């Protein structure tokens, strides 16, 4: 009797034989998907970052233009001839400003420009119009004042304008060269440069401008904030070397001083200039600290004095949400369908929400750091951050909130 196999048995055997092959196939597909996904994620995360090659190319082009006499500046020689200023690393996203760290006589500095190429800035039309004749100082003054008005919305006095020029107009005997005028014009088109320059002698909360070359301006290197950092700023690299044991007490004290300096900055930007200065892009990355723990606003592209702020906010609207400009909000008047020109939240509220809340509530708990005044401080920070949610913006409440935070931080310091 022949033992013929039934189709059912053969099917089972085939399944058993094919199983390892099928598993291998699945494994292979799985690996392929994982490999491709990680390449994709890696590419999309790092695609927007600057590269050393690209940044060095930017400097090479800058120096080429300098040697051709197209542009100039007080640091061009150091960067392009003596090489006492050398590239260190780039710190920008492709879509943002070009921010490059360099070593200048072995000290770190930052070079910044809104656009990559000098030729991408508008040319000063006087240079084309008066190709052969020299340009009068009075014209330069007028053009500069107009550019400051455009950039910052401020009417500047004639006495302020020369501050923006590397060499004081009144001390200058020869007329400006074409390269000098073209370089200055490219800098004046950068709102951040104009604001930094105007506030140089008025504020310790903006970085020192140390010079320029073409469209790049050099500012002091500071310890920048990072949202991912356990205390937002890498204070370990800053504090007195004798504190390096990084005891919790020292970290507490440092964080406390940074918070007080933030409050000082808020007061200063509110009261010490002819107009209130509004910060509309508040995040740890846009602030830095000096070694004495002074907080410095390092990215002021979204900082506006009151007149320009009012212009920005006054838009058409149908609801309050249409009146939000980054961190600066106003309200919609549904009768006129226009946003109110007056800002409805404040620098203090946003700093409470985006800096103090993560610092005093999440980060310190993660570090398991406790302090007797911590719960009071935590409540004060929460109340302050939630003021804008409840639409509370009156001056008196803001003042009380400010003082509550200030007094708690001072008491803690003692
Ligand atoms: N003076 C400085 N010292 C140290 N680091 C700096 C300084 N200025 C800028 N940086 C670093 O470079 C980064 C980018 O600078 P900045 O914020 O001015 O450029 P940005 O293009 O406007 O950035 P974004 O649009 O992402 O806010 C900062 O987050 C900071 O890490
Ligand atoms: Mg920034």
Digit-coded pLDDT (tens) for 251-308: 888 889 999 999 999 999 999 999 999 999 999 999 999 999 999 999 999 999 999 9
| For residues 230-241, average pLDDT | 73
- pLDDT for 39: 56
List, in order of start, the domains of the chain with CATH numbers.
Answer: 49-133+174-221 (no CATH), 235-315+345-412 (1.10.510.10)
For ligand 1, the distance from its centroid to the CA atom of residue 91, given in whole angstroms, is 7
Mutate to test the pocket of ligand 1, among 90, 91, 229, 354 (most ligand atoms within 8 A of CB): 91
Is 192's C-beta closer than 6 angstroms to any atom of ligand 1?
Answer: no
Q: How far apart, in whole angstroms, are the C-alpha atoms of residue 383 and residue 145?
A: 42
User: In terms of pLDDT, which residue wins out, 18 or 79?
Assistant: 79
Q: What is the pLDDT of residue 257?
A: 94
Say how far apart CA 412 and CA 168 lie, in whole Å. 47
Q: Tell me which of 338 and 175 has the higher pLDDT.
A: 338
Whole-number Å distance, alpha carbon 413 to ligand 2 midpoint, is: 30
> Smallest Cα–Cα separation from 166: which of 217, 123, 206?
217
C-beta 110 within 6 A of ligand 1? yes
Work out which ligand 1 atom sits closest to the CA atom of 222.
Answer: 3
The closest-lying atom of ligand 1 relative to the alpha carbon of residue 97 is 21
Q: Would you say the CB of residue 301 lies under 6 angstroms from ligand 1?
A: yes
pLDDT class for 48, splitting at 50, 70, 90?
confident
Q: Is 96 in the pocket of ligand 1 (CB under 6 A)?
A: yes
On whether the CB atoms of residues 216 and 111 are closer than 8 A, the answer is: yes
Minimum-distance ligand 1 atom for the alpha carbon of 301: 22
Which residues, 6+ apart, have CB-to-CB distance to 406 below 8 Å?
A: 260, 263
Question: Measuring CA to CA, how many Å separate 230 from each of 224, 360, 364?
Answer: 13, 11, 8
Average pLDDT over the chain, rounded to an integer: 86
Strands 216-220 and 223-224 come out as unpaired
Residue 321 scores a pLDDT above 80 = yes
* In contact, 374 and 364? CB cutoff 8 Å: yes
At residue 1, the pLDDT reads 39
User: Which tens digit of pLDDT belongs to each residue from 370-382?
Assistant: 677 788 899 999 9
- Mutation test residue for ligand 1: of 96, 206, 283, the one with most atoms within 8 Å of CB: 96
Residue 285 beta carbon below 6 angstroms from any ligand 1 atom: yes
- What is the arithmetic mean of pLDDT over 228-243? 72
Q: Report the distance separating Cα 399 and Cα 368, nearest Å.
A: 31
Ligand 2 geometric centre to CA of 134 (Å): 39
pLDDT digits 0-9 by tens, 144-196: 888 888 889 988 765 566 666 655 444 565 778 889 999 999 999 999 999 99
The reply to whether ligand 1 has any atom less than 6 angstroms from the CB of 290 is no
Percent of the chain with pLDDT over 90: 57
């Amino acid at each position: 009797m022949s033992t013929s196999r039934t189709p059912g048995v053969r099917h089972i055997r085939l399944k058993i034989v094919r199983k390892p092959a099928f598993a291998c196939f699945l494994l292979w597909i799985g690996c392929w998907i994982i490999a491709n996904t990680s390449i994709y994620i890696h590419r999309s995360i790092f695609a927007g970052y600057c590269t050393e090659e690209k940044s060095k190319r930017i400097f090479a082009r800058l120096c080429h233009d300098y040697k051709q006499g197209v542009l100039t500046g007080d640091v061009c020689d150091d960067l392009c001839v003596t090489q006492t200023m050398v590239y260190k690393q780039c710190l920008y996203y492709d879509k943002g400003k070009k921010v490059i760290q360099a070593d200048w006589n072995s000290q770190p500095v930052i070079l910044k420009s809104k656009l990559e190429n000098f030729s991408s800035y508008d040319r000063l039309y006087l240079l084309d119009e008066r190709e052969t004749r020299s340009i009068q100082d009075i014209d330069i003054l007028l053009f500069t004042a107009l550019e400051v008005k455009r950039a910052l919305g401020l009417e500047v006095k004639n006495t302020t304008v020369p501050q923006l020029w590397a060499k004081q107009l009144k001390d200058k005997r020869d007329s400006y060269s074409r390269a000098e005028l073209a370089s200055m014009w490219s800098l004046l088109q950068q709102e951040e440069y104009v604001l930094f320059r105007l506030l140089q002698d008025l504020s310790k909360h903006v970085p020192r401008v140390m010079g320029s070359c073409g469209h790049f301006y050099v500012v002091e290197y500071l310890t920048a904030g990072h949202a991912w950092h356990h205390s937002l700023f890498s204070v370990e690299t800053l504090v007195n070397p004798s504190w390096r044991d990084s005891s919790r007490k020292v970290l507490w004290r440092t964080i406390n001083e940074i918070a007080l300096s933030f409050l000082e900055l808020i007061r200063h930007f509110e009261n010490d200039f002819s107009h209130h200065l509004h910060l509309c892009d508040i995040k740890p990355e846009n602030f830095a600290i000096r070694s004495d723990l002074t907080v410095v606003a390092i990215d002021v592209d979204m900082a506006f004095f009151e007149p320009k702020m009012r212009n920005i906010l006054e838009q058409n609207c149908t609801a309050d949400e249409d009146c939000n400009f980054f961190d600066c909000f106003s309200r919609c008047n549904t009768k006129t369908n226009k946003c109110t020109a007056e800002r409805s939240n404040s620098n203090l509220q946003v700093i409470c929400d985006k800096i103090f809340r993560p610092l005093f509530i999440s980060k310190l708990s993660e570090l398991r750091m406790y302090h007797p005044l911590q719960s009071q401080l935590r409540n004060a920070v929460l109340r302050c951050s939630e003021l804008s949610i409840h639409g509370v913006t009156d001056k008196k409440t803001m003042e009380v909130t400010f003082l509550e935070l200030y007094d708690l931080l001072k008491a803690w310091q003692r």
